[in-house]
Structure 1
Amino acid sequence: MKKLTVSLAVLGAMLLGGCASQKPGYDYTAFRQARPRSILVVMPTNDSPDIKGATSVLARATVPLAEKGYYVFPVAVVDEMFRQNGLTGGHDIQSAPIRKVREIFGADAILYLHVEEYGTSYQILSSDTRVSVSGKLVDLKTGKTLWEGRAKHVDNGSNGGGGLIASLVSAVANQIIGSATDRGYQVAATADAQLFYYGDRGGVLMGPYHPDYQKDYQNDR
C-alpha cells in the first residue's frame, strides 16, 4: 500500500507537470559534467509553523529520487550521523562544510531542501492542505550547484456543494481531519515528486540506475 501511494504521487506529479505552463528550461551543463550517481538528502530547513514539515518532506524525498535512478543514502542513518556530530536541525546541517560531509559519507552530491509551506489551513469556505518546497543539488566535489527547483501542491479535500452552512462544516471538518491525520505527509509525497520530476524550470535528470539515463541530456535545453 505504501509503495502504491508513492507511485500514485509520482503519477500525479507527472500529470500536473504536463499541464504546467512552459518556462525557460534549466541549464544542465554543470549537471551533465558532474554525472552524480549518489545523493545525500539532508534535513530540510522549515519556514512553516508545523514542525512536522521538515521530517515529512525529508521522508518523502527518497523514493522519487531512487526511481529517477540514483542511490539515495538512507535518510534516518544520515540524520543520526549528523546528530552524533552535534548537528540536529536543518540550518545546522546545511551549514556543514561540504568537504567534511564528503569525507564522512562519500556521496557525489548533496540535496538541500527548504519547506516554505506545510499543513492544513481553514480559508472561509474551504480548507486545504498545501506543501511548498524548494531544492538545490550541490556537487560535493566542487561545491557547484547542479540543479535548483521549486514545487507546490495543494489538496483541497472533498469540499463540495450543499450551501453555505454545509461548506463551512465541511471546511472545518477537513481541517480537523487534515491536522489530526497529518494530511500534509501525503501531500508532501506529490510535492516532492513534482519537484524532482518537473521543478519550476525542469526536474532532476535521470540517474545512472535508470534505463533512460542520458536520454534526457539531449532534451534539457
Structure 2
Amino acid sequence: MMLMSKKVFLLFTLSLVLLITGCSTPPPYNYDALLAAEPRSILVIPPKNNSVEVNAPYIYLSTISRPLGEKGYYVFPVAVIDTFMKENGLPTPEEMNSVPLDKLYEHIGADAVLYVEINDWGQKYNILSSDTVVNVSMRLVDGKTGNLLWDASASVVKSSDSGGGGLIGNLVNAVASQIMNSISDQTPTVARTANNIALYRHNQGLLNGPYAAPNAQK
C-alpha cells in the first residue's frame, strides 16, 4: 500500500510539473531597440503571400491600419502607398517587399516599416465542417537602419463545426457554412483577431506609440 501511494504521489508530482511547464509564459520581449528608436509613424508594406489565395495581401491590408492606429502610431494610408508603388513599376507585393529600405525612407520617410508574411489563409472545407484560417508573421524594422524593433506571429482558426446534431446535422451545417462563406468572406474577421493577438499579447505585443490614448490598452 505504501509503495502504491509513493507511485501515485510521484505520478501526481510529474503531472503537475508538466502542467506548470506547459502553461509557463514566455519571457518578456526585449523592447530596448523599440524604446531607443521611438518610432512615430509606420509604413505597412503589402504582405508577402505564401498562401494560394491571391487576394489575401489586400484583404489583410484592410485589417491592419486601425489596430496600429489604436496603438498610437501614424500609419501611412495603405491604399495610397500601394498605388504609389505600382505607379513606380512595382505591380506585386513580392516586388514591393524587395525595395531597399533606404529608398523607402528617401521617398516616404517613415520612422518604421512593417513587413508582413502570410503563411496560410482562406477557407478550408472538410467533410463535416469548414475552417477559416489566418496565419501571419510580422516584423517592424527601423526605417533608417533596418534594425529589428519588434516581431510577432499569430495563427487563428475559426471552425464552423457545431459539435452536435449528429451526422446529418453536421453535414447540413457544413454545406450551409460553405454557402455562407462563399457569400460573406470570413477571413477579414479572423485576420483582425490574429492582429489583436499579435499586437496585444502579454509581454510580447507592440508597445503603445506616442499618439495612444492615455487609457489605451498596452
Whether the aligned pair in 2 keeps the contact of 1:44 and 1:90 (CA below 8 Å) is yes
Rg larger in 1 or in 2? 2
**Do residues 85 (structure 1) and 84 (structure 2) align?**
no
1: CA distance, partners of 2:187 / 2:42 = 24
- Corresponding residue of 1:207: 209
Give the Cα separation in 2 of the matches to 1:21 and 1:114. Answer: 27
Could you tell me how far apart the structure 2 residues matched to 1:43 and 1:93 are?
7
Identify if the C-alpha distance between structure 1 residues 103 and 130 changes in structure 2 by more than 3 Å, giving closer, same or farther. Answer: same
CA distance in 1, matches of 2:206, 2:182: 31
TM-score when scaled to structure 2? 0.83
Task: Give the alignment's TM-score, normalised by structure 1.
Answer: 0.82
Match for residue 64 of structure 1? 67
Unaligned residue ranges in structure 1 (runs of 5+):
1-19, 217-221
Aligned length: 195
Q: Which moved more, 1:151-160 or 1:84-93?
A: 151-160
Work out the CA distance in 2 between the residues paired with 1:24 and 1:175.
41
CA shift digits 1:51-107 (9 cap, x unpaired): 121111111000000000000000000000100111122221111011110111111
Contact 2:130 2:161 in 1 (8 A): no
Q: Higher relative contact order by CA 8 Å / sep ≥ 6: 1 or 2?
A: 1
CA contact (8 A) 2:160 2:173 kept: no
- Out of 192, 197, 211, the position equivalent to 2:195 is 192
Runs of 4+ that moved beyond 2 A: 157-160
- Structure 2 alignment gaps of length 5 or more: 1-22
Which residue of 2 is the match for residue 103 of structure 1?
Answer: 106
How far the C-alpha of 1:158 sits from its partner, in A, is 6.0
1:157 maps to amino acid? S
CA distance, structure 1, for counterparts of residue 91 and residue 53 of structure 2:
17
Equivalent position of 2:142 in the other structure:
139
Cα pair distance change 1:31/1:113, threshold 3 Å: same
Alignment partners' CA distance in 2, 1:190 and 1:21: 23
After superposition, the Cα gap between the structure-2 partners of 1:21 and 1:90, relative to the gap in structure 1 and judged at 3 Å, is farther
**Do residues 176 (structure 1) and 179 (structure 2) align?**
yes
Distance 2:131 2:24 in 1: 23
CA RMSD of aligned residues (A): 2.0
